[in-house]
Amino acid sequence: MGSVLAVDLGASSGRAILGELKDGKINLKEVSRFPNKPIYKKGALSWNTDDLFSEIKKSIIEAKKFVEVESIGIDTWGVDFGLLDENGNLITLPANYRDSRTKGILERVSKLFSLEDLYMITGNQIMEINTLFQLLALREKNPELFYQVKTILLIPDLFNYLLTGKIAAECSIASTTQLTNSYTKEWSEKVLNNFELSRHMFPNIVKEGNYLGTTKPELELGDIKVINVCQHDTASAVVSVPSERDFLFISCGTWSLIGTELKEPILSKDAMKFNLTNESGHSGSTRLLKNCTGLWLIQELKRNYEEDGVNYSYEEIANIASLVSSNKCLIDTDDEIFLDPGDMRERIVSYAKRTNQSIPNKPEEFFRCAYESLAHTYKKTIEEIEIVTNKRFEDIHIVGGGSNATFFCQLVANITGKKVIAGPGEATAIGNIVIQLISLKKIKDVAEARKIISNSFDLITFMPNMK
């Protein structure tokens, strides 16, 4: 029996992981791990998709040394996209959502179309980084480039195209764009027409589990099936949450995505006021969630100290932060001053002065401030989700890289007052793998997959300590 290969690309790193279903359990083998570092291209912060595609091909070749690879699925972060010309060639490297070109665009857009109406159609949290606003900024600032575009492909769809030559848009990744109808899960003609965007630029939307095609012969990778998994990494991560009842999830990576799984979108005024987003999940479900800054703050602080010649591992960071007995500075982790790369210590100090709080000084104080502030952001967001859904949740499932930080998981339990179940750590890759296995008829559905996941991976429970 062949194995399946999950390629999971995050905003700071990528990984390729083999998955095999054997004796009722999923076995994983990491094939490769590589950095994903944005570069400046023609003055724009961009993704180096050439290097990333090279890493994907190398990962497939490496995986084939161990097993027969039956299929591959790719998931990535949302909103960003590649532009193809009429010959099917990439016009330029895809812009990074942190590029400054969308600054101030919401004010201009609001004069053309009610942001409330836009929310009621798309269900998406109104954020400058969303695909719609990136496209409008591109047309406004680089019209000569924009009018060369024949096809727009979101990042995982772009890599699938490079592997197969086939064009499609998978549902979960399309739902991050602010261009789809949250009920029909198709491109919104009303939004496209209002902003004068051609429907022909956007591929037809397919569901997760769709068999797209096989790897192109000229790539010399063999005859490997390419499957549209839940291509938004959060959607894949939620597939792997091992729960049989209503649950809260926190997918904790560079971004923290906090939410729950629903049968239908919620487009209420409260949902919009709290800036909650409705995105497509597996089996026609909706993920009601909020995009919040995540471990980005920790990553940047770590990088800041490395530039000073001080190297901390993430384990060391958690250890020194845990020794701070009382943190006297809390920041709004979603304040725009923390969005862009830079010296987070200076920005935290600036925020503390502006809000009349104690000023961190030592490394452990900066890291503790970031961790504790994140946990308070989670608490506030969870309270908002409970108001909008009219539900009270008992458990929080933390998945992704943050689930490995025991200090942080306990901190979240303490501050939210809820039980935290941590794991699996490679949630996104696991969700990617099980969608492939469902497509290949080796697992019946997501409900069965979640039972298998629960039996396959160790989970750690943290009870709140309110002292």
Cα distances from 452 to residues 24, 399, 444, in angstroms, run 6, 16, 11
DSSP secondary structure code for residue 22 in this structure: E
Contacts of 337 (CB under 8 A, 6+ apart): 347, 350, 351
| Location of structure tokens 């790897």 | 215
pLDDT the model gives residue 58: 99
CA distance 102 to 45: 12
Helices and strands counted in the chain (H then E): 17, 19
* Amino acid 1: pLDDT: 61
Residue of 51, 233, 246, 458 marked active site: 233
Are 467 and 413 in contact by the 8 Å Cβ rule? The answer is no
Cβ atoms within 10 A of the Cβ of 43, count?
9
Positive/negative CA dihedral, 123, 288, 444, 429: positive
The SS3 assignment for 154 reads strand
The pair of structure tokens assigned to 429 is: 């890759």
Asked if the peptide bond before residue 424 counts as cis, ω within 30 degrees of 0, the response is: yes
Q: Give the SS3 label for residue 49.
A: helix
CB contact at 8 A, 365 and 347: no
Q: Are 456 and 20 in contact (CB under 8 A)?
A: no
- How high is the pLDDT of residue 244? 77
Domains of the chain: 3-233 (3.30.420.40), 243-423 (3.30.420.40)
The reported pLDDT for the residue numbered 158 is 99
Rounded to an integer, what distance in angstroms lies between the CA atom of residue 344 and that of residue 363?
11
- Tell me the pLDDT of the chain (467 aa) as tens digits: 689 999 999 988 999 999 999 999 999 999 999 999 999 998 899 999 999 999 999 999 999 999 999 999 999 999 999 999 999 999 999 999 999 999 999 999 999 899 999 999 999 999 999 999 999 999 999 999 999 999 999 999 999 999 999 999 999 999 999 999 999 999 999 999 999 999 999 999 999 999 999 999 999 999 999 999 999 999 999 999 998 788 999 999 888 999 999 999 999 999 999 999 999 999 999 999 998 999 999 999 999 999 999 999 999 999 999 999 877 899 999 998 998 889 999 999 999 999 999 999 999 999 999 999 999 999 999 999 999 999 999 999 999 888 988 999 999 999 999 999 999 999 999 999 999 999 999 999 999 999 999 999 999 999 999 66
Give the residue among 133, 127, 167 at the shortest CA–CA distance from 151: 167
Question: What is the distance between the alpha carbons of residues 333 and 369, in angstroms, rounded to a whole number?
Answer: 10
Cβ–Cβ under 8 Å, residues 183 and 265: yes
What the block records as the tokens of 372 is: 């504790």
Q: Is 50 a catalytic residue?
A: no
Quote the pLDDT of residue 401: 84
d(CA 160, CA 174): 14
Cα–Cα distance for residue pair 381/363, rounded to 1 Å: 27
What is the C-alpha separation between 301 and 107, in angstroms, rounded?
31
SS3 content of the chain, % helix, strand, coil (to 5): 40, 20, 35
Sequence-separated (6 or more) residues with CB below 8 Å from residue 316: none
Rounded CA separation 231/53 (Å): 16
Nearest to 70 by CA among 227, 206, 219: 227
pTM for the complete prediction?
0.91
Radius of gyration of the chain (CA): 21
The CA distance from 180 to 280, in Å, is 10
